[in-house]
Structure 1
């Protein structure tokens, strides 16, 4: 099957920070440039192959994560914490504002269109089977955010404007701790070297039509999908704030307190009036699941099952690729906090789903997917009594030890850290690869293609290829989704606020890599 080589991946060329365009008081502002591509590096941490070429493709998946699509005008956001600088009590809340955040929808649309065009593997000629998200699809568990995210991934109208007739967010020049794109002489622009981009906010709020994936796509539940600001559980008081008309721009004097356990004091500071909107209402887990069925795309429910509808759970097994089972976990702790864990009921369910495809007549390879990677599953915060997930929390290393009992597990795919990272997990029966992909919201705003290849020497190769969206490397305007996606990438590359940090792209061994391991099905036969 011919491959469309007009679509370039990072094996052909990469995007890097280029020359310094402006020097601010606190940092320099860089343009971006194209650089040489990165060939696939063969990693033999878990074994090597003896043949000189790759074999037959068993599955070809696009991985997109941490879009954090957000309503920038929402009263339930606390961007004002950036006014407080680097105080120790502020750190766990940051970042709550980024200069590129309004344009995350446009960057996602550009990435989806690029993946659609790159759907034929240049390595094997295989067609893309599906796309997989691993959570933090939205930022603040709001209904309007969920509707926009569903439109982005399946195609249709997308609008990020929830306010009144005028913009009601923090980038209007009224505060000194946020970037106002209309002015070159604002305090924030002078500190960080950001250029004026007149009309950017208005353009970012404008409704547009997203292309949507040409292939089936699966979803996953992240901490921002199920917690206010990804940190604290919803309450009646917070729900009232979310749909209300009071947006905080400052805080009472003194320490902030514990936002996870008692967030209400942070919403009691000075505020401005904004238009109220019922479309901002909170979406709890059962409704999040149900919305994926109402959307109507493929597959029905986007991985979620009728049992998920009946029980309100958000973990499932997907068998749409022959010979491969994808098991998607829900690692969000309903008790709060941004790190992850699962409950014991989910662990028992996982063991049953793994047992079904190990040995016997239905021997399949298994890919585990979750929002949190193993290293971020450290959350022991209790779930409130009476909640379906109440009880002991299962952490990352215990989960990994469970997976060791099932050698057909070849990969654990995740997001959350906003960094590309690939590392081996060795055990007595072989091992699996932990594959974490960086966020769309933050630099470098990329996706990962992952192809499972069966070689003819009783080994498997998991081939990872990083993809940049095909919007121009230099922003050329604000009148098209690609123009806004280009601005998103350049602003993200210069943002001083990033979960993943300036090196979120990781090392070459975290990006374009061939990950070799013994074929566990051979041992079974």
Structure 2
């Protein structure tokens, strides 16, 4: 069976020849490269059958779109003027050359997924798309509205300024790329091209196609914290919706943005147009907005219980025989790394017990659970290794109390044999690793960012083999736009520019090797079928 657009099994995209060289770096064009066959990872079991099995679930995974309002006064791009210092390292990047074009790249990727929604392995149709957070960059209402329309279809508008562009890519600062000229400033230093009209084109509203399949989502640190790091306060809301944009930092240490953000907003400013649409969308409002777009499923995973309780974690059972458990790992106390609260942990254990005939309790004893045996995928924004945030929320916060970190959470998952994998984003890198644990190993699957290189999605298919195993098959997908960007008139042309610029950006959370190794991309993870042991 073939698809209408090749996946990375058929061809890959890599950095190619150097097109321009600046004193700081060289700028590469992109080039086609051979495809990558699936690597069989048989750490847990060996598949003896050579025939394709039966598809149990077929899911698309997108993460870290970080859709953003590039003119927002709540952004501190000025920190790039200080370079990579001890003070700035935990705050950067706050500006990327390609960031204005993230919605166009996401729309192109969604349209590609719509075209290849039939599995080339089993012929199954795509059941579901899933995002794992950082859907937006700065928890702003206008960003969130654009993201929901981007996934469900509708008008996308992120120009919150006045009649003239009021961001940092206008040539007024020497620490940001001005697309109008290649011979001066940052562009010259980094070998970046001139792309006249790019900013104007990127700010134009467009109509997003939307996913053809149901989609569910997740609450990430950028969805729930200002700049993904600090809680919204009345003072910060005034900055977000106001008319003063920081273009300088006050004298002295840069300070701690998590506990004292207003210090950084007290420096020299320029006047910009104010906009109430930039107001912060806190967790409850983030959840409620997913019930208003008319897309499927209603609430996009979130439930009436989430609305009533003010929580953002849920179990999704729409795929027969499979339960997806979406966690909320954003710490409302602040900081970009994750954790969960004790109330969420108790809820998680109850949801796991419901879909296990037998599992281990905290003392290691085998106990009986529910009668609805299901395979389980855990999903969250943060992976285990990034769940290191033990800052306690205020005593009057609903999430107050001890924070549960990644290793403790993994120890709980280890007691439940039906957990096949923990799927996440946040690190902006492709990564697939086995968590061996004490009793029941599971796979940890992290997908790279759409905002940054390699700007890809991951297809995940659970396949039931006829030899007592199941396979979790991962396939990486690129959007089907031109490899060499041309003009700036269409969404596809802007998406093509986004990919090339992202491949050359020096500001990448995942680094230049964010694509990982072959074993992190197209892989078949062979797992003993846990339902057989339960029966």
* TM bucket normalised to smaller: over 0.9
Q: State the superposition RMSD in angstroms.
A: 0.7
Asked if 1:261 is matched to 2:271, the reply is no
Partner of 1:483: 493
> Matched residues in 1 for 2:115 and 2:274: separation?
40
- Indicate conservation of the 8 Å contact 2:354/2:371, yes or no: no
Deviations 1:29-78 (A, max 9, x none): 00001110000000011222111223100000000000000000000000
Q: Distance in 2 between matches of 1:295 and 1:390?
A: 32
Q: Measured at CA, do residues 490 and 197 of structure 1 come closer, stay the same or move farther in structure 2, by a change above 3 Å?
A: same
Equivalent position to 1:334, from 320, 332, 345: 332
Measured in 1, the distance between the counterparts of 2:529 and 2:146 equals 41
1:474 to 2:484 alignment: yes
1:476 CA drift (Å): 1.7
1:24 and 1:398 mapped to 2: Cα distance? 47
Q: Distance in 1 between matches of 2:146 and 2:386?
A: 28
User: How much does 1:302 deviate?
Assistant: 0.0
Q: CA deviation at 1:183?
A: 1.0
Q: Does the 8 Å CA contact 1:157/1:207 hold for their aligned counterparts?
A: yes
Asked if 1:517 corresponds to 2:514, the answer is no
Q: Secondary structure at the match of 2:317?
A: strand
**Partners in 2 of 1:255 and 1:46 — Cα distance?**
51
Equivalent of 1:504, from 486, 499, 514? 514
Name the residue aligned to 2:110. 112
Alignment of 1:167-316 (within 5 A): 167-316=165-314
Aligned-residue offset at 1:457: 0.8
Q: Quick one: which of 352, 357, 361 aligns to 2:350?
A: 352
1:161 equivalenced with 2:159 (yes/no): yes
Give yes or no for contact 1:46–1:430 (8 Å, CA) kept in 2.
no
1:423 pairs, out of 427, 433, 437, with 433
In the alignment, which residue of structure 2 is the partner of 1:54?
Answer: 52
Q: Name the SS of the counterpart of 2:28 in structure 1.
A: strand
Aligned-pair CA distance for 1:428: 4.2
Distance (whole Å) between structure 2 residues aligned to residue 175 and residue 186 of structure 1: 11
C-alpha displacement at 1:4, in angstroms? 4.4
| TM-score (ref. length: structure 1) | 0.99
Is residue 373 from structure 1 mapped to residue 371 from structure 2 by the alignment?
no
Contact residue 168 and residue 274 of structure 1 kept, 8 A = yes
Partner of 2:362: none
Query: Any stretches of 5+ residues in structure 1 without a counterpart?
Result: none
Candidates 441, 446, 451, aligned match of 1:436 = 446
Give 1:427 deviation, angstroms. Answer: 3.2
Give, in angstroms, the shift of residue 186 of structure 1.
Answer: 2.2
- Secondary structure in structure 2 of the residue aligned to 1:350: helix
Give CA deviations for 1:209-265 in whole Å, capped at 9, x if unaligned: 000000000010000000000000110000010000000011012210111111000
C-alpha distance in 2 between matches for 1:246 and 1:186: 27
Correspondence for 1:135? 133
Residue among 102, 106, 120 paired with 1:122? 120
Give the aligned length: 523
Contact 1:46 1:424 in 2 (8 A): no
Q: Scaled by the length of structure 2, what TM-score is found? A: 0.97
- How many Å apart are 1:104 and its aligned residue? 0.1
The CA deviation string for residues 315-360 of structure 1, in whole angstroms up to 9 with x for no partner, is: 0000000000000000000000000000000000000000000015
CA distance in 1 between partners of 2:253 and 2:428 (Å): 28
Q: Greater shift after overlay, 218-227 or 41-50? A: 41-50
CA distance in 1, matches of 2:49, 2:187: 55
> How far is 1:362 from its partner?
0.9
Equivalent in 67, 73, 96 of residue 69 of structure 1: 67
Corresponding residue for residue 79 of structure 1: 77
Q: How many Å separate the matches in 2 of 1:361 and 1:184? A: 65
Secondary structure, counterpart of 1:49 in structure 2:
coil
- Conserved? CA contact 1:172–1:180, under 8 Å: yes
What residue number does 1:23 align with?
21
